[in-house]
Amino acid sequence: MKQIKLFSLIFLAMVIFTTCNKEEIDKQKPEIDLSMQGTFPLNCDTLYFGESFDFKVLFKDNAELGSTKSYSIDIHHNFDHHSHSTEVENCKSEEKKDPINPFTFIEDYDIPEGLDMYETNIKITLPTTNNSGILDEGDYHFYISLTDKEGWSVQKGLSIKILHRGIN
């Protein structure tokens, strides 16, 4: 009888121990939502050197978005028509060309802690020139990367054009 009571106590302790204080593990990637009204840029949009635009997208996560260096933006030329676009729609591309003075933009950004949704609102200014002269216009990629608090990441690669207004 003592063995049955001892076994029952051990079993009860195991049940209590395994059911209490279990943290749920985040097994889902975050989401870059481009369907929000006012999202910019979208696939196939045109931006202009010498002008600013507001980068607006909605980030979502089932648990919690990250904090330090939670998302990044990478704008780089696509003059060789390489692909890492995540969009279904194909944009009209210019002919392939060799870069002479391509524009490059790479920046990391933070998201405040404790959020499961975050709407970006960043003003980005595209210069017309750099130390090497006028920047190359044409096909570019606008690449967005988002990492949640657990380290899951997702990317969106948009095809865009960056042109000069009034320079031909």
CATH code for the domain in which residue 110 is found: 2.60.40.4140
Domain contains 43? yes
- State pLDDT tens for residues 64-117: 998 778 999 999 999 999 886 677 678 999 999 999 999 999 999 999 999 999
Domain contains 15? no
Per residue in 88-124, is it b (16+ CB within 10 Å) or e — as a string? eeebeeeeeeeeeebbeeeeeeebeeebeebebeeeb
The structure tokens listed for 67 are 């904090």
Around Cβ 60, how many Cβ atoms within 10 Å?
15
Parent domain of 77: 28-163
Domain contains 78? yes
Domain contains 7? no
DSSP label at 56? B
Domain contains 16? no
The structure tokens listed for 72 are 């990044």
Show contacts of 127-131: CB within 8 Å, 24+ apart.
127/49, 127/50, 127/103, 128/49, 128/50, 128/164, 130/101, 130/103
Q: What is the pTM of this model?
A: 0.83
Q: What pLDDT is attached to residue 93?
A: 92
Pair 83, 43: CB distance under 8 Å: no
**Total domain count, the chain:** 1
- State pLDDT tens for residues 118-127: 999 999 999 9
CA of residue 1 relative to chain centroid, distance = 63
More confident residue, 20 or 111: 111
Domain contains 46? yes
Q: What pLDDT is attached to residue 166?
A: 78
Around Cβ 30, how many Cβ atoms within 10 Å?
27
More confident residue, 79 or 2: 79
Domain contains 101? yes
Say whether pLDDT at 15 is over 60: no
3-class secondary-structure state, position 83: coil
